[in-house]
Chain A
Amino acid sequence: MYDKLFPPKKILLSNGKVVHKKRSRAPFITILVAIAIYLSAYYTEFSFYTIFTRIHNFFDIIIAMMPPDWGYINHLWKPLMDTIKMSLIGSLIGAVLVLPLAVLASVNIVPNKSTAAIFKVILSLIRTLPTLVTALIATFIFGLGPIAGSIAILIFTVGYVGKLLYEQIENAEMGSFEAMESIGMTRFQAFRYAIFPQVLPSYLSTSLFCFEGNVRYAAILGFVGAGGIGLLLNQDLGWRNYSGVGMTILALVVTVFIIEQISEYFRRKLI
C-alpha cells in the first residue's frame, strides 16, 4: 500500500541493472506519532508552563518525607502483614485454581479444539481487567477488607499464571505423552506422568514471580478499601502526614526487596 503511494526509487547500477530501493517509512511514522502526541497533549491539557512553575510542589513533598517518622513503624506492622497475607493467600489459591483451567486451554491435551479456544478467551478476558477495578468490584461483593483484596489478587494470578502455564504445556515435549497413551493409559494419567513433571518447575517459578508482583499490587489495593497498607498511604497523603508516608514507603521498599530476594533464590533453585 505504502509502496504504491510512494513508488520505490530506481537506481541504475554501473552494469546496467535497475534496482528498486523502497522509500523509507520513517517520515510517515514520524508524522503519525507527531499527530498522536499533539492530540494527546490537547486532550490531557499538557503544559510545560505548569510543569516549570509548579513542579517544586512535587519535590517539596519528597523533602517533607525525608527524615521518615521512625516511630510510625508501630502503626505499620498490621497493615504491612495484612498486605503480605493477602498476596500470599491470593497467589496460593489462584495458582492452584489455575491448573485445571490452563490444562483445559491447552490444544495438545484437550481433544476438542473449541473447548481450548473458549478457555483461552476466558483467561484473556480475566487478564484484561485492571486489578484495582477487580478489587473495587470485590469490595462491593465481599465487603471492605482483606478478603476483597485477596479475591482481586487471586483473579489476577489466574489470568497471569494461566496464560504462561498453557503456553508451557503446549510447548512441552509430547513424545512420552503419546507413548503412555499408546500403552493404554488414560489422557489424565499420561498428563500426570509425562507433561506435569516437565512443566512443574516453570509453573512453580512463574507462580513465585507472580507472588512477587502481587505484593506490590496488594500495596495499592487499600486505596479502594480492599485491605492492606494502601488505606494508610491514602489517609496519610490526604492529611499531609508526609513523614509517615516516607516511613510507609521505606517499609514497603524493604519488604518488597526481602520478598524478591527470597523468591529469586527459590526460582534459581527451580530452574
Chain B
Amino acid sequence: MDKLEKQLHAAPRKLTYILTITAITVMVMLWSLTAMNFKDVNSSGLGIMLNIFKGILNPDLDLLFNLTNKGVLYLLIETLAVAFLGTIVGAILSIPLAFMSASNLVPKPVSWLVRFLLIIIRTVPFIVYGLMFIRVTGPGPFAGVLTVGLISIGMLAKLYVDAIEELDTGVLESMTSIGCTTFEKIRYGILPQLLSIFTSISIYRFDMNLRDASVLGLVGAGGIGAPLIFAMQSYKWHQVGSILIGLVVLILIIEFISNKVRSKLING
C-alpha cells in the first residue's frame, strides 16, 4: 500500500454520524409538515400574486407623491420619527440598566436579576407591548414610540454591557496614578471609550427599529403599517405597491447611511 492510499484510508469515517443527523432532520421535517394544511391553497392565490406584482409595477403615483398627511411621504416620515424617538428613549433607558447588569461593577445577584429581566423583555413579542401601550396612550404613533423604546432595551442593554465589560481599565489606572479626580476619569477615561461604541450600537438598533415601526401600524400604533393593511384588505394593490416601494426605498437609504456612519465611528 503506498502512502497516498494509506492517507485515504486514514480519513475518519463519519458515515453513521452523517446518516443519523440526516435521519433526524428528515423526521423533524415530516413532523413539521403535519402542521401544514394544504386545502386552503388554491388557484385564486396565483391570481392574487399576479395582482400584487401588477400593483408593484404600476404603483399609485398620486399616493406616492402626495404631500398631505394621507400620502406615503408623510407616513414614512411618521414611521421614521417613531423609530428615531423610540431608539433615543430605549438608548437612554438602557444605559442605567446596562451599568446595573455589568458583572464587574455591581454585586453578582443584582447583575443576574437585571440580566434575567432583560431576557424577558427581549422574548415578549413587540406587538404585545404595542397592544399594551395602546391602553396607555390611545392608538397613534405615541404608542409606537414607547413600544420601540421598550423593545430596544433588551438588545441595547445587552450589547452595552459587553462594551462596558471590555473597557480598557489600564487607562483608568494610569489616570489614578497621575492624580485625576473621579469626574476627570469618567470624562476622559471612560466616556471616549464608550461613547462611540454606544452610538454605533444605537444606530444599528435604529436600523432594526425602522422595520419594526413599519409594522406596528398593524395594531394601531402609528406609522405606515395601518394604511398598508387597510389597502391589502380592500384589495387596492396599486396602493399596496406604492406603500411597499416607499418603504423599501426608505429602509435601503437608512441602511446605507447607518452602515456609512457606523464604519466611520468604528474606524475613526
Contacts and interface: CB of A to CB of B under 8 A. Distances in A.
Interface stretch (A6-14, A79-87, A173-181, A188-196): A79-87
B125 A145 contact: no
Interface stretch (B37-45, B102-110, B167-175, B178-186): B37-45
A98 interface: no
Interface stretch (B7-15, B77-85, B157-165): B77-85
A40 B248 contact: no
A147 B40 CA distance: 9
A136 interface: yes
B63 interface: no
B35 A44 contact: no
B34 A85 contact: yes
B251 interface: yes
Contacts of A142: 40-41, 45
A201 to B, nearest CB: 13
B49 A141 contact: yes
A65 B70 CA distance: 37
Interface residue SS majority, chain B: helix
B97 interface: no
B262 interface: no
Contacts of B41: 142-143, 147
Interface residues of B, number: 64
B145 A140 contact: no
Contacts of B141: 43-45
B37 A145 contact: yes
Contact of B127 (A58, A81, A223): A223
Interface string A178-221: 00000000000000000000000000000000000000100110
Interface range on chain A (Cβ under 8 Å from partner) = 35 or more
B131 A128 contact: no
Contact of A45 (B38, B84, B142, B252): B142
B226 interface: no
B127 A220 contact: yes
Contacts of B31: 85
A5 interface: no
Contacts of B228: 133, 136
B19 interface: no
A141 B35 contact: no
Nearest to A129: B248
A72 to B, nearest CB: 16
Interface string A43-70: 1111100110011011001100000000
B2 to A, nearest CB: 19
A57 B135 contact: yes
A124 B252 contact: yes
Interface in B183-220: 211-212, 214-215, 218-219
A141 B85 contact: no
Interface string B130-145: 0111011100111011
B266 interface: no
Nearest to A138: B45
A62 B129 CA distance: 10
Interface stretch (A15-23, A108-116, A248-256): A248-256
B1 interface: no
A37 B88 contact: yes
A104 to B, nearest CB: 21
B215 A147 contact: no
Nearest to B46: A141
B136 A58 contact: yes
B25 A92 contact: yes
Given A82-B35, A86-B35, A92-B28, 10 more contacts: A37-B88, A44-B85, A129-B247, A130-B211, A133-B228, A136-B232, A142-B40, A147-B38, A220-B127, A238-B131
18 contacts: A40-B80, A46-B142, A51-B146, A58-B133, A85-B33, A128-B247, A130-B214, A132-B218, A136-B232, A143-B40, A147-B40, A230-B127, A234-B127, A234-B131, A245-B128, A252-B124, A253-B119, A256-B123
Closest 7 CB pairs of A and B: A143-B40, A40-B81, A44-B141, A85-B32, A85-B35, A43-B81, A40-B85
